[in-house]
Structure 1
Amino acid sequence: MTATDYGDDGALVLFSGGQDSTTCLAWALDRFPRVETLGFDYGQRHRIELDCRARLRKGLTGLDQTWWRRLGRDHTIDLAALGEVSDTALTRETEIAMEADGLPNTFVPGRNLVFLTFAAALAYRRGLRHIVGGMCETDYSGYPDCRDDTIKALQVALNLGMQRRFVLHTPLMWLDKAATWALAEDLGGKALVDLVVEGSHTCYLGERGERHDWGYGCGTCPACELRAKGFARYANHSGI
């Protein structure tokens, strides 16, 4: 599908600096005539991800002249209040563990609901109809605000509450991590895979010291384990 299939509407991509959001940004650049990006600073333990964003944006525009022409402004919103009301392993220096309700303590309640609401408010002002996020309920940590039903319900609420026709896109919703790596290759070839490996950040602990085949990270947190296992399956299938 190309930009013409979506008309002249632009897109806003929730861009954290991680593997998933980088792949989603490439996906949007491949489809929409105008693309802007949005990051959130909520006091996350792995705030280093925000430092990766500029390099990734530059790297993506270097892969394709069309992408260079389509990529527009970058925005960052300070959501310190979200971190202040959250008592999680992503916003506090505490050990990552499972809670009694079956969710990992890395779950930040309401995070994606808040992110998408602020994204819609910004898209409203910027005249952007499409909002793209990396939510996935196929190969994930069980977060309820990543589920397809949640995103669909929120789209209805945002459209009613803002009297707009926003479309929330989640291109990774039904992909496991191996398929996400493969999607990156489909979109930008090995150069994009290499950019994701070298430039993006996913580790919950914010560890950038050790370089693995799949990128930088502690290698033991849930995010690193998902990324590593997915890359191994992708590499085995693609023969790299």
Structure 2
Amino acid sequence: MPNPMRHTHALVLFSGGQDSTTCLAHALSRFERVETVGFDYGQRHRVELDARQAVLRELRAAFPAWAARLGEDHVLDLAVLGAVSETSLTRDMAFRMEANGLPNTFVPGRNLLFLTLAAALAYRRGLTVLVAGVCETDFSGYPDCRDDTMKAMQLALSLGMDQRFLVDTPLMWIDKADTWRLARELGGEALVALIVEHTHTCYQGDREHRHAWGWGCGQCPACQLRERGWQAYREGTPRGTALPRHP
């Protein structure tokens, strides 16, 4: 009988961005079987859904050992989330800070819904680990990225589905520069180059402008954070030195 306390099969919440790709590499280096799930919620940067497929294709080609562990990819339609969200990620509006201190890139309930549906999918697929690229270091103050939120979700999902889930957050306490370093530790310069070339982070969905750190407008909060992390990584900023949060 398999040991229920030993987690060997994982589902990665995979957007096709830098963070989730690094998390995918982390999962592939750690778990016996790994599947991926993405979400189409009417995001302005919908090009990330295309980037997902490019990253998966390139990972399989460049890392045969990981390819043997990489299973099915799933995309869930969450149009309802875009319909109820009045944010700059789901509407054509400028990025700004709101009166509550959160940026208008915050999509209320997004990560909570993502994890709930991912857990439902994982339940059906026989996967007990949910891997998410959330963190408390380089983020926008999103409350659904906090460690306390992840622990609460792990408990709620495990109780509500009578299934012992583990919510794995490998980026929780590291900054963007360390995320680049983690990618290099996991897959060498080949993985770093893959992330630069094929992942998508830009909130504007820009795939026309190429920078040293990848594709993007270079102006939106996501691009600025990724660029600062890349510069600190290349300059050798000491590990654990948090970069400024984007405005």
Sort the TM-score into its range (normalised by shorter chain).
over 0.9
What is the alpha-carbon distance in structure 2 between the residues aligned to residue 24 and residue 109 of structure 1?
Answer: 23
Q: CA RMSD in A?
A: 1.1
What is the alpha-carbon distance in structure 2 between the residues aligned to residue 153 and residue 129 of structure 1?
Answer: 16
Q: How does 1:104-123 map to 2 (within 5 A)?
A: 104-123=103-122
The question of 1:200 aligning with 2:199 is answered yes
Deviation at residue 8 of structure 1 after TM alignment? 6.3
The aligned residue for residue 65 of structure 2 is: 66
CA deviations 1:197-223 (Å, max 9, x no partner) are: 000000111111100000011111110
Deviation at residue 60 of structure 1 after TM alignment? 1.3
The aligned residue for residue 166 of structure 1 is: 165
Q: Equivalent residue of 2:128, what SS?
A: strand
What is the alpha-carbon distance in structure 2 between the residues aligned to residue 30 and residue 70 of structure 1?
Answer: 9
What is the alpha-carbon distance in structure 2 between the residues aligned to residue 214 and residue 206 of structure 1?
Answer: 15
Q: How does 1:38-49 map to 2 (within 5 A)?
A: 38-49=37-48
Query: What letter corresponds to residue 42 of structure 1 in structure 2?
Result: Y
TM-score, scaled relative to structure 2: 0.92
What is the alpha-carbon distance in structure 2 between the residues aligned to residue 64 and residue 216 of structure 1?
Answer: 23
The aligned residue for residue 3 of structure 1 is: none
What is the alpha-carbon distance in structure 2 between the residues aligned to residue 233 and residue 152 of structure 1?
Answer: 30
Query: What letter corresponds to residue 83 of structure 2 in structure 1?
Result: E
The question of 1:237 aligning with 2:236 is answered yes
- Whether the 8 Å CA contact 2:13–2:131 is kept in 1: the answer is yes
TM-score, scaled relative to structure 1: 0.95
- The count of corresponding residues between Structure 1 and Structure 2 is 233
What is the alpha-carbon distance in structure 2 between the residues aligned to residue 9 and residue 19 of structure 1?
Answer: 24
Deviation at residue 9 of structure 1 after TM alignment? 2.4
What 5-or-longer segments of structure 2 have no aligned partner? 238-247
What 5-or-longer segments of structure 1 have no aligned partner? 1-5
Residues 170, 66 of structure 1: alpha-carbon distance in 2 compared, 3 angstrom cutoff: same
The question of 1:92 aligning with 2:91 is answered yes
CA deviations 1:62-100 (Å, max 9, x no partner) are: 232220100000000000000000000000000000000
